[in-house]
Amino acid sequence: MDDRANISLADLDREALFHPVSSIHDLQTKGPVIYTGAQGVEVTREGGQTLIDMGAGLWCVNVGYGRPELVAAGAQAMQDLSFQHFFGGASAEPTIRLADRLLGLFNETVPGADMARVFFGCSGSDANDTALKLVIYYNNLRGLPAKKKVISRKGAYHGLTYAAASLTGIEGYHTAFDLPMPGVLHTSCPHHYAFAQDGETEAAFTDRLIVELEEMIAREGADTVAAFIAEPVMGTGGVFLPPAGYFDRVQQVLDRHDILLIADEVITGFGRTGAWFGSETYGIRPDIVSLAKGLTSAYFPMSASIVSRRIWEVLEGASAKMGALMHGFTYSGHPVGAAIAMANLDLMEAEDMPANAARLGPVLLEALRSKVGDHPLVGDIRGVGLMAAVEFVADRATRARLPVGAHKLVAAHAMNQGVLTRALPFLPVTSMSPPLSITEGQIDEATTRYARALEAATPEMLAL
Ligand code: PMP
């Protein structure tokens, strides 16, 4: 073993593992970027460089890194009851209290919400798999075995397990894996800036999307369509805010055809949009809500699927004659995760983080507009709460696309300047979604570094 200790970590990484959503070729040739620590909004790289993490990990470290309250809650929970499964009726206090708290929080903050029960998992992807299986289960119980298709949207990101990757509407995640699976359809991406035609207003764009949705349902037959899944704000696809009136109109269509609405709040949950949930920000009344990431601020892998009363009543009503609900995971309801989630919610409430996101969102947008808004390759700067995007174009007037990869150069230069941003895979977009604990001063510093990075990357972007 001793000789292994002398191998650099980068070489050991190359020899020992392979990474999610990473180029095997690049990693084998260039090696990984290794991080050694993190505190507050900053992460530290091997060698000692610190960077402001404008991504909050993958949109998930909502309360910031290294919070002692969460560490203490996790340690205590491990000491008390390091594991309890929930199969066959077993249960444990932290999880019971968390479920009750989540229902209260969602129903109190989202107008019209009537959520009834929570089911726990481990990741955003499995929360969406659970949602999909519950939709199928629900319609089987209702005696509607043909009503099973799910409509998602192009540009959507719902995770990467087999079912969740099928719901994801980005081709790059599909082709090499023979996805999407049958029964998943994708309607148009509601991103006005890139996809509006001939000067269409947002309202006219929404009208067109609604007609398309109606046509898709008519073509498939409403008796075959079970659910529609949507992120309140599309994240990984490019930070797309819904156009004017969009969710209201979508809900009317779904209601008319007895189609359930699944809100994937894996990113938008827990303060990101400047409210506790994106459903509040956009007036969404979901039947199922998928939560993960900010639930524990990524201190523990945990997800939750919340179901509405109308679904619960069918499940409960049929339960006497059904066998057990044959779905769940070893770690469903993990008491350590639940205790950490409770401490995380305590901290978010004590520091009123949704309000912090609401207050600082406009500060972040204004900083980006004043520092990079006039750049000839910057087409659009947008955001809601602490979820922002800079979209690059080859030509601001025509909004012509830049070659893929141009925006990745900015992210690389940003790292050199000491700021982590994300270059998204679907469109040339930099996303920023810092911890909700970030300060105005840190936003100023991060955006100044980002502006310097864009300046440095410009000649290479133009040469592509
Ligand atoms: N849904 C959304 C909206 C997401 O952004 C993500 C992750 N970025 C997921 C689902 C999948 O979550 P996970 O990676 O934890 O499976």
Co-location of 155 and 98 in the same domain? yes
Please, are residues 140 and 321 in contact by the beta-carbon 8 Å criterion?
Answer: no
Band the pLDDT of 1: cuts 50, 70, 90. Answer: low
Co-location of 219 and 361 in the same domain? no
Q: In this structure, which amino acid lies at residue 354?
A: P
Say if 329 falls within a structural domain: yes
pLDDT tens profile 225-245 = 999 999 999 999 999 999 999
User: Per-residue pLDDT averaged across 438-463, rounded?
Assistant: 97
DSSP 8-state code for residue 208: H
Which among 351, 381, 398 is the end of a domain?
351
Which among 351, 381, 403 is the end of a domain?
351
Co-location of 342 and 393 in the same domain? no
**How far apart are the C-alpha atoms of 57 and 265, rounded to whole Å?**
17
pLDDT tens profile 386-396 = 999 999 999 99
Please give the share of the chain, as a percent, with pLDDT higher than 90. 95
Co-location of 373 and 452 in the same domain? yes
pLDDT score recorded for residue 405 = 85
Ligand 1 center to 181 CA (angstroms): 18
Q: Rg of the chain over CA atoms, in angstroms?
A: 22
User: Per-residue pLDDT averaged across 407-424, rounded?
Assistant: 96
Distances from the Cα of 118 to the Cα of 115, 287, 290, angstroms: 8, 12, 10
Handedness of CA 109, 110, 115, 118 (dihedral sign): negative
**How far apart are the C-alpha atoms of 202 and 206, rounded to whole Å?**
6
Co-location of 337 and 432 in the same domain? no
Which of 125, 291, 303 maximizes ligand 1 atoms within 8 Å of its Cβ, making it the mutation to test the pocket? 125
Say if 7 falls within a structural domain: no
Co-location of 346 and 358 in the same domain? no
Ligand 1 center to 266 CA (angstroms): 6
pTM of full prediction above 0.80 = yes
pLDDT tens profile 355-406 = 999 999 999 999 999 999 999 999 999 999 999 999 999 999 999 988 878 9
Tokens standing for 218?
């008519």
- The CB density around residue 50, as the number of other CB atoms within 10 Å, is 13
Say if 251 falls within a structural domain: yes
Say if 328 falls within a structural domain: yes
Please, are residues 61 and 344 in contact by the beta-carbon 8 Å criterion?
Answer: no
Ligand 1 center to 157 CA (angstroms): 7
- Contacts of 130 by beta carbon, 8 Å cutoff, 6+ apart: 119, 121, 290, 305, 327
pLDDT score recorded for residue 324 = 94
Please, are residues 428 and 378 in contact by the beta-carbon 8 Å criterion?
Answer: no
Would you say residue 3 has pLDDT above 80?
no
**How far apart are the C-alpha atoms of 181 and 178, rounded to whole Å?**
8
Which atom of ligand 1 is least distant from the CA of 159?
Answer: 11
Co-location of 290 and 368 in the same domain? no
User: Per-residue pLDDT averaged across 136-162, rounded?
Assistant: 98
3-state secondary structure of 123: coil
Q: In this structure, which amino acid lies at residue 56?
A: A
Say if 4 falls within a structural domain: no
- The mean predicted confidence, pLDDT, of the chain is 97
User: Per-residue pLDDT averaged across 64-68, rounded?
Assistant: 98
**DSSP bridge pairs for 416:** none
Co-location of 115 and 180 in the same domain? yes
Say if 1 falls within a structural domain: no
**How far apart are the C-alpha atoms of 188 and 53, rounded to whole Å?**
32
Element (H, E) at 96: helix 93-109
Phi, psi of 293 (to 5 degrees): 30, -95
Tokens standing for 389?
């995007």
Say if 3 falls within a structural domain: no
Ligand 1 center to 199 CA (angstroms): 33
pLDDT tens profile 432-448 = 999 999 999 999 999 99
User: Per-residue pLDDT averaged across 250-263, rounded?
Assistant: 98
Among residues 159, 356, 350, 345, the alpha carbon closest in space to that of 270 is found at 345
pLDDT tens profile 282-332 = 999 999 999 999 999 999 999 999 999 999 999 999 988 889 999 999 999
Q: In this structure, which amino acid lies at residue 136?
A: I
Considering all CA atoms of the chain, what is the largest pairwise distance in Å, rounded to the nearest integer?
68
Please, are residues 331 and 97 in contact by the beta-carbon 8 Å criterion?
Answer: no
Which atom of ligand 1 is least distant from the CA of 303?
Answer: 15
**How far apart are the C-alpha atoms of 84 and 91, rounded to whole Å?**
7
Say if 12 falls within a structural domain: no
Ligand 1 center to 123 CA (angstroms): 7
Which of 21, 157, 240 maximizes ligand 1 atoms within 8 Å of its Cβ, making it the mutation to test the pocket? 157
Ligand 1 center to 11 CA (angstroms): 29
ipTM of predicted complex: 0.99
Co-location of 177 and 304 in the same domain? yes
User: Per-residue pLDDT averaged across 409-427, rounded?
Assistant: 94
Co-location of 159 and 297 in the same domain? yes
User: Per-residue pLDDT averaged across 69-75, rounded?
Assistant: 98
Which atom of ligand 1 is least distant from the CA of 125?
Answer: 16
Distances from the Cα of 395 to the Cα of 110, 344, 377, angstroms: 40, 44, 7
Q: In this structure, which amino acid lies at residue 207?
A: D
Q: Say if ligand 1 is within 6 A of residue 159 CB.
A: yes
Which atom of ligand 1 is least distant from the CA of 265?
Answer: 3
Band the pLDDT of 2: cuts 50, 70, 90. Answer: low
Ligand 1 center to 116 CA (angstroms): 23
Co-location of 446 and 415 in the same domain? yes
Band the pLDDT of 349: cuts 50, 70, 90. Answer: very high
CATH number, residue 426: 3.90.1150.10
Which residue range is the domain that position 411 belongs to? Answer: 33-66+353-462
Number of domains in the chain: 2
Q: Say if ligand 1 is within 6 A of residue 125 CB.
A: yes
Tokens standing for 240?
């797309």
pLDDT score recorded for residue 430 = 96
Which among 307, 329, 351 is the end of a domain?
351
Co-location of 346 and 457 in the same domain? no
* Helix residue ranges per DSSP H, 257-396: 278-281, 309-319, 335-350, 353-372
CATH number, residue 346: 3.40.640.10
